Amino acid sequence: MRIGFDLDNTLACYDASFMAAAKLKGWLSEDLSPTTKSQVRQQIRLLPDGEHKWQELQAHVYGPGMGMATLMTGADRFIQTARKHKAFLTIVSHKTDYSPLDEHRRWPLREAARQWMTAQHFFHDTGLGFSPEHVHFTTTRQAKVQAITNLQLDLFIDDLTEVFLEPGFPHDQTRALLFDPGGLAANQSPIHRFAHWDAIHEWVFP
């Protein structure tokens, strides 16, 4: 079996990161306690110039604040089970080298992601067991879909419906597994929706 993973908001969880960064900037009141990235985004976009503030927040969280991210609950169990089944595992992430708001190119986003994965033991034989060469970053969503096609994956797990709806996604060879913990996505065939990693685990490895 060949399994591919998205990184941001699929394996890497930023819920606490976004909340802490928004409060640090004074954009989120201390008496508000949104618990997910989506809830923080909703609050920030209500502010004056909210869309720009949200982009700035993302640039911080995915760059200098990347170290605050955590591994999604249940993802490690799924990966370890997949290893026991001798599955080929790879990561394909749509991530630019730098945020458009980082005009001085101070915070390389891909390097921040690699450092976070190293700290989370992605590349340790006794950890998650990924090979660095099996982590792919693409500049566009179209390139991400092409990479998924080229890797001939049986499954791909992502939190964005848009990836699976992108023209050219190889539905004839790759099953689309949507990680949707907020339950916000609409049912769309042939996309399979899951609210948590344990549900994906039971579906793939019953």
Neighbours of 67 (CB within 10 A): 10
Termini Cα distance of the chain: 15
In 3D space, the residue among 91, 31, 104, 33 whose CA is nearest the CA of residue 63 turns out to be: 104
Determine what percent of the chain is predicted with pLDDT higher than 70.
Answer: 96
CA quadruple 132, 133, 138, 142: dihedral positive or negative?
Answer: negative
> Quick check: 101 pLDDT over 90?
no
SS3 150: helix
Tell whether pTM > 0.75: yes
pLDDT at 115 over 90: yes
Contacts of 111 (CB under 8 A, 6+ apart): none
pLDDT digits (tens, 9 = 90+) for 58-100: 888 888 899 999 999 999 999 999 999 999 999 999 999 888 7
What is the pLDDT at residue 104?
Answer: 63
H/E stretch holding 155 = strand 155-158
HSE-up of residue 167 (Cα within 13 Å, Cβ side): 0
At residue 204 the predicted structure's pLDDT band, cuts being 50, 70 and 90, is: very high
Q: Read off the pLDDT band of 27 (50, 70, 90).
A: confident
Reported confidence tier of residue 12, pLDDT bands at 50, 70, 90:
very high
Position 140 scores a pLDDT of 95
Helix or strand holding residue 192 (H, E):
strand 191-194
For residues 157 and 179, is the Cβ–Cβ distance under 8 A? yes
Residue 102 pLDDT: 72
Angle, helices 50-62/15-24, rounded to nearest 10 degrees: 120
Domain boundaries, given as residue ranges, for the chain? 2-13+70-204, 15-67
CATH of domain 2-13+70-204: 3.40.50.1000
- Res. 34: pLDDT tops 80: no
pLDDT at residue number 206 = 92
Higher-confidence position of 22 and 86: 86
What is the number of helices (H) and of strands (E) in the chain? 8, 8
- Which segment of 71-80, 136-145, 180-189 scores lowest on mean pLDDT? 180-189
Q: Average pLDDT of 111-125?
A: 95
- Sequence letter at residue 163: V
CA distance 75 to 70: 11
Between β-strands 12-13 and 70-71, what pairing exists: parallel, antiparallel or unpaired? antiparallel
Hey, what are 33's tokens?
A: 């306690």
